[in-house]
Structure 1
């Protein structure tokens, strides 16, 4: 595993990914994500944003180029090594929450540590739930929680391993606007490197930076974005 500058949490250099020998999902993508920053990735349907997240997180292999996460060259790892990297250094938050319905909030949060063969302390779990405002919901099962509370549990679960990068795939897509704002405020308050794929300009405007993709290529960026500018840029790309 190749060490890199610790100020850079993740980096892609000239990354190419082709599906079925003809669909260029990623076409020479080069991006750097500084440690502690919150980046939103946007683009029209088929632009490559989900593929970028999956490749950067080590869920899918690239055809050429390089990807580094937490100082490790992901593209040089075999399947077992990528699994260990995802387990130990990468966090995930999805639109569908992906909580186990038979487990309590606390049990869902501690699950990544148990799967890694580590026994979590009650203090760790309490701290993770308190960080997302759910210290009093530890014994509640997902069906006893609102959608926003379930997503907060999912965020706590993603953070309990103290990952170098948190990847979020449409984390507010299943939530109403009020709850979405609450979850986005929570994400923004986390001193964590976050790479979030979203189609929502309001969600994207919560980030420090918005990266726009089209046809598998980076076609622009916005720093300190606002909703109207993000929406206008996305509309232009979709047109």
Structure 2
């Protein structure tokens, strides 16, 4: 699989208009009770993700990164504010309706690959469709595995795959439903440098060649540099954005946040 270098952008491609928004967040607020204390995880976050964009979310520990991702994906509900995923408001949906919307419009990749060890790669990829009581077409599953460069590994179980290959199967599983947004939470956290490069090259390729929208939480400046834009959080608020990032510019911005 051929990846794209960090920070690379294509020449001559048609620009996606700003109005083509895959994810719209408005004034998100979220609090948690920890013992006798109230922790403000999100404090008025407003953010748009254009279709076909790759956004990384970074910040110091406890800045609200994972909470933002979970609220944006409908895995958690904000206390106030609005989330629109592919134009569909999440507020007010029943748990059943929210589950269906997540299943149809969102894909998820986490640090733990979460593959079923007794199932083959192809069976793992088809699992979201089966859980939705939809009969997976062979071409759907084959296409998802081919998109991540693992068509020849369809019959292999997770134990027969490297860590990087397992994460690519997890990406294929997230893609099989053709999600509007792919949410990734520390997708390279359990991988070595080579495997991390392969997975990030894959995500970059999905954005560049297939117009996939990706939002990713990471703590690694090298990983963040594959994105089009890095959004920095601090104390539950947006503390700045960085376009066309490099590992150096990301690390420098992070250092300033952590020293603040």
Give the TM-score range, shorter chain.
over 0.9
Partner of 2:190: 174
* 1:206 to 2:226 alignment: yes
Gaps of 5+ in 1: none
Gaps of 5+ in 2: 1-17
8 Å Cα contact 1:6/1:71 also seen in 2: no
Partner of 2:25: 12
TM (normalized to structure 1)?
0.96
Following superposition, the deviation at residue 183 of structure 1 comes to 0.6
> Which deviations, in whole Å up to 9, do the C-alpha atoms of 1:125-178 show, x marking residues without a partner?
111111100011000000000000000000000000000000000000100111
From 43, 46, 52, the counterpart of 2:68: 52
| CA distance in structure 1 between the partners assigned to 2:191 and 2:219 by the alignment | 13
| CA distance in structure 2 between the partners assigned to 1:106 and 1:53 by the alignment | 27
* 1:103 to 2:103 alignment: no
Following superposition, the deviation at residue 6 of structure 1 comes to 7.0
8 Å Cα contact 1:49/1:213 also seen in 2: yes
Following superposition, the deviation at residue 111 of structure 1 comes to 0.4
Which 4+ residue blocks in structure 1 deviate beyond 6 angstroms?
none
Following superposition, the deviation at residue 26 of structure 1 comes to 0.1
Partner of 1:221: 241
| CA distance in structure 2 between the partners assigned to 1:113 and 1:137 by the alignment | 20
* 1:195 to 2:215 alignment: yes
Aligned length: 235
Matches within 5 A, 1:1-239: 7-20=20-33, 22-190=38-206, 191-239=211-259
Following superposition, the deviation at residue 76 of structure 1 comes to 2.3
8 Å Cα contact 1:110/1:125 also seen in 2: yes
Distance 1:137 1:161, change over 3 A: same
Q: Look up the SS of the partner of 2:91 in the other structure.
A: helix
8 Å Cα contact 1:6/1:70 also seen in 2: no
TM (normalized to structure 2)?
0.89
Q: Look up the SS of the partner of 1:22 in the other structure.
A: strand
| CA distance in structure 1 between the partners assigned to 2:48 and 2:166 by the alignment | 31
